[in-house]
Amino acid sequence: MKNRFGKNCFMPLQHEHEYLITGTHDEVNRQHYVSRLRMHILNQIGSGLKPIYEKKIEPLFEEKNGRKPKNEHEIRKLMLQNSYTKTWSTMMVSCQDMVWSSVVPAIENAQPKLNEKINSLTSQYGTLTLTPDLKLPNYITGTDIHRMPGNYHTERTLQDATQGALYDRGRFIYNAGLSGPNADGIPRTMATYIKRRWQNFKPLRILELGCTIGSSTMPFVDAFPDAKVHAIDTSAPALRYGHARAESLGKSVHFHQLNAEETTFEDNQFDLIFSCIFFHETSRKAYPKILKECQRILSPSGLMMHAELPPTSNMSPFDAFYMNWDAYYNNEPFYQTYTNLKPEEWVTQAGFSKDNFFEVSIPDLDRSLPSDFQNAVINPSVAKQKTARIGENARWYTYGAWN
């Protein structure tokens, strides 16, 4: 069924597990409405930004300066003075808040029973190790990333797990289910790519950084069944929920409450270390520390690989402006700084060999042709990387290094 914009009216349904909180009939329909509204604002209304830049902003800049803009910083003020851009930006912020407000009531109603159920859980597959005295970094406590109320870490009662439930449902509504029923499109793409490109690589000890509720961890459990999979995050409520979720899905994951800047793991402990859209939510100081920690705990001949935002160095001023909108209006303060960095420089400074560094744009496993995916395996490149945010992109920028 199509709506008047020619798009499917229905979003994919989220895969239900024992701890997922969706809500009543009316609450779920409100969530789906908000999700489709956000996609309409992002894609249909947002598509009007580039013509405005090309027809109005760029000529205005050239007339004033006698040259074309060099970067996003030179056009930002002019773009944001435009009424269409301001309207789109306001709608995006308002709709982002609507995403969370559509999910919160069901989570609040479920909180007592959800916490009781999770805290009485008997583990059968994996483990959960919390560190009550862990000092949370300022980039976690200082803002509500993605405008999510309470960010990842807030606990409203003892042994609270509801921030994990909020993230689970809210993130799915936010991207309209485009990452699949289990919200694992990016990590499944990564895991499949690793298996196909490096067929002789058989990691037995795997670690995910910044796992949140572990939805990005599960594909690696499935892809490498002989491996012992660990996952770390600083958020206790997200880890409580993630552990319960993994147990309900029958997945063996060992969750730890640790800061990726300085873990308690031994040297050379892991054969594969990965993350999914994690670094841009840290900080300028934390990023190099985390890379150095990866180098320390990665085994000889081990693989480090991260899916992240693409660098803006090769983008047009407009594309970079569009990419970095979130840094200003979606509570992601490190976003723009991160996209201006060159990963190769930071990876080599962390102790990895420049010859062992790689970067590749991988077609999304669910939203690309099998031939396109296979071509990325045979001919790895970043040349076709498309500027986008979650909900638009069909290719994922990844980078890493062999130890």
Q: What is the pLDDT of residues 59-88, one digit of tens each?
A: 999 999 999 999 999 999 999 999 999 999
CA distances from 212 to 46, 52, 119, 126, 372 (A): 29, 38, 18, 16, 30
- Kindly state whether residue 130 falls inside one of the protein's structural domains: no
The model's pLDDT over 17-50, given as tens digits with 9 standing for 90+, comes to 999 999 999 999 999 999 999 999 999 999 999 9
Which two tokens mark 82? 């435009």
> How much is the pLDDT for 6?
40
**Whole-model pTM above 0.85?**
yes
Give the separation between CA 233 and CA 130, rounded to whole angstroms: 10
- CATH code where residue 369 lies: 3.40.50.150
Q: What are phi and psi of 83, to 5 degrees?
A: -65, -35
Domain membership of residue 328 (yes or no) is yes
Residue 102 located in a structural domain: no
Q: Count Cβ atoms within 10 A of the Cβ of residue 314 and give its class: 0-12 exposed, 13-18 middle, 19 or more buried.
A: exposed
What mean pLDDT is reported for the chain? Answer: 94
Q: Up-side HSE of residue 4: CA atoms within 13 Å toward CB?
A: 0
Residue 10: band (very low, low, confident or very high) from pLDDT cuts 50, 70, 90 = low
Residue 40 lies in a domain: no
Number of domains in the chain: 1
Q: Domain range holding 369?
A: 185-402
pLDDT > 60? residue 7: no
* pLDDT band with cut points at 50, 70 and 90 for residue 383: low
Tally the residues of the chain.
403
Task: Note whether 79 and 48 are within 8 A (CB).
Answer: no
340-366 pLDDT tens trace: 999 999 999 999 999 999 999 999 998
The verdict on residue 62 lying in a domain is no
Task: Please report whether residue 294 resides in a domain.
Answer: yes
Match 């303060």 to its residue by tokens: 333
| Separation of alpha carbons 172 and 158, rounded Å | 26
291-331 tens-digit pLDDT: 999 999 999 999 999 999 999 988 999 999 999 999 999 99
Two structure tokens written together for 375:
């071509």
Question: Is 222 part of any domain?
Answer: yes
Domain assignment present for residue 123? The answer is no
Instruction: Report strand pairing: 395-402 vs 127-129.
Output: unpaired
Do residues 339 and 309 lie in contact, with contact meaning Cβ atoms separated by under 8 Å?
Answer: yes
Residue 103 pLDDT class (50, 70, 90 cuts): very high
- pLDDT given at position 387: 44
269: three-class secondary structure by DSSP = coil
Give pLDDT tens digits for 192-225. Answer: 999 999 999 999 999 999 999 999 999 999 999 9
Note the pLDDT of residue 207: 99
How high is the pLDDT of residue 385? 52
Q: What is the pLDDT of residues 277-286, one digit of tens each?
A: 999 999 999 9
Which pLDDT score is estimated for 2? 42
